[in-house]
Amino acid sequence: MVDMFPVLRVLGMLVMIFASTLLLPMGVSWWTRDGIWFVYLMSMGATVSLGAWLWWTFRVFRRELQPRHGVMLVSLVWLLLPLSAALPLMLAGHYLGRPMTFTHAFFEAVSGLTTTGSTVMSGLDALPMSVNMWRTFLQWVGGMGILILAVAVLPLLGVGGSQLFKAEAAGPVKDAKLTPRMTGTAKGLWGVYAVFSLACTAAYWAGGMSLPDAVMHMFTTVSLGGLSPYDASFGQFQSPLLEAIAVAFMLVASCNFALYFVALRKGDWRGFWRDPELRATVGTLIGGGVVVSLLLWAKGVYAPLDALRYGMFNTVSMASTTGYATVDYLAWPVFAPVLMLLLSGVATSAGSTGCGIKMVRVLILVKQARREMTRLVHPRAVQPVRLGDAVVDHRVIFSVLAFMLVYGATIIGLSMVLLLTDLDPVTAFSVVLASVNCAGPGLGSVGPASNYAVLTDFQLWICTLAMLLGRLEILSFLAILTPAFWRR
């Protein structure tokens, strides 16, 4: 355990950095005069105190973080930061006469930071703007990963960050550096994230949203989070223009941000469009939307233009793990919502703000399966697995196979646990799948017209665990439970 003391020192720094995010809702509360600005001040004080205590207690333990330190730190961050994020929700609920239990507040905070977009809160339209700003801002902070931001900050405090980046970065290939120093990589990715955020805010504002609505929906669009300050979600606006803007930015955020960084840095976008994962991601999202739109038109649910509008928006939203909704799509032919939920597991790229399996893993699995079928006919054929012009290392293939095994086992295992609580099979399977994929709405009793408040506390804790596992890509979290992790 002494070997983990440097992790607790860095954890204290991260907690203190996270406390600064409460300045935004506190400022909004003061500006709107909703009378609860002190809630955020109290929460900030408690968070800073906790972080300072951790840092001061373990300040003498200084050493370069090893890979297992990075895994431990990432896991602890995603357990501890939701506690801090839940505190203002509980305090605000108390002072507003809308008390929240710890279970509900922690679930809401985890849903925000993991960019899942599930909620147990209703009456969102009547909440103070500062509360909704906090809920949506959590998704923006979690979108690119709080630790990738920390990689850019901690070196200034004398803490190396490469192991944090590797533990937090999504996808099977995590060692490629876009710049000579990992700090430059993290700053570059966050720079791209900030540019898209400003562009999205401007587009929503120009499209007819008020500035606060534009900012809050930007937070949950570029992060592929999907929380909304309205009970009707994105359907509150009933605007084809705003829906088209949202679709465009959801497509942008579903692709690998490293590709944008490289293209902007070199001023050459030709390599960007040649990336096989990007083409597969965009093709799957748009293709899925077209399939659902054609189904809605063929079944007579909507006229052609309305079928394209609703089918494209809701499919891209769900498949990209955003989770916005403009209609109750559970009333559609059953094929559509099931397809949308399944696409949420595969349709986003590694290096995007989405979760799930990631498109690059799907491509590797498909190419590996094709190679094995070729070997049945030509046992001596040499056919390496390639992505574009690059040969995929065997270690990456084995890692993808291991991830898929654990991914499937996690969904089946947690679904079976929920079935033990007498939850109906459709709801049980869909809430686990939606939570592991960080997609938000499920099927059954947790569809877009409802929320997760219908679940019991125990069921919510299972969903919370599923969200954390999905955000940490399962293997990083489960590695802590293995004996090899604790051996020196």
List the chain pLDDT tens, one digit each, 488 residues.
Answer: 566 788 888 889 889 999 999 999 999 999 999 999 999 999 999 999 999 999 999 888 776 666 677 778 888 888 899 999 999 999 999 999 889 999 999 999 999 999 998 999 999 999 999 999 999 999 999 987 766 666 655 554 454 555 555 555 666 655 555 665 667 777 888 889 999 999 999 999 999 999 999 999 999 999 999 999 999 999 999 999 999 999 999 999 999 888 888 888 877 777 778 889 999 999 999 999 999 999 999 999 999 999 999 999 999 999 999 999 999 999 999 999 999 999 999 999 988 888 888 898 899 999 998 888 888 888 877 788 888 778 888 888 888 888 899 999 999 999 999 999 999 999 999 999 999 999 989 999 999 988 999 999 999 999 999 999 988 878 777 777 777 777 76
Residues contacting residue 241 through CB under 8 Å, at least 6 positions apart: 207, 208
Maximal CA-CA distance, the chain: 74
The residue whose two tokens read 């569809």 is 447
- Contact assessment for residue 255 and residue 282, using Cβ atoms and an 8 Å cutoff: yes
User: Could you tell me if 85 and 109 are in contact, meaning their C-beta atoms sit under 8 angstroms apart?
Assistant: yes
CA 45 to chain centre: 27
Model confidence, pTM: 0.91
Buried (b) or exposed (e) across 81-110, using 16+ Cβ within 10 A? bbbbbbbbbbbbbeebeeebeebbbbbbbb
What's the pLDDT score for residue 157?
46
Decide: residue 233, CB within 10 A, 0-12 exposed, 13-18 middle, 19+ buried. Answer: buried
Q: Give the angle 213-214-217 at the CA atoms, nearest 5°.
A: 80
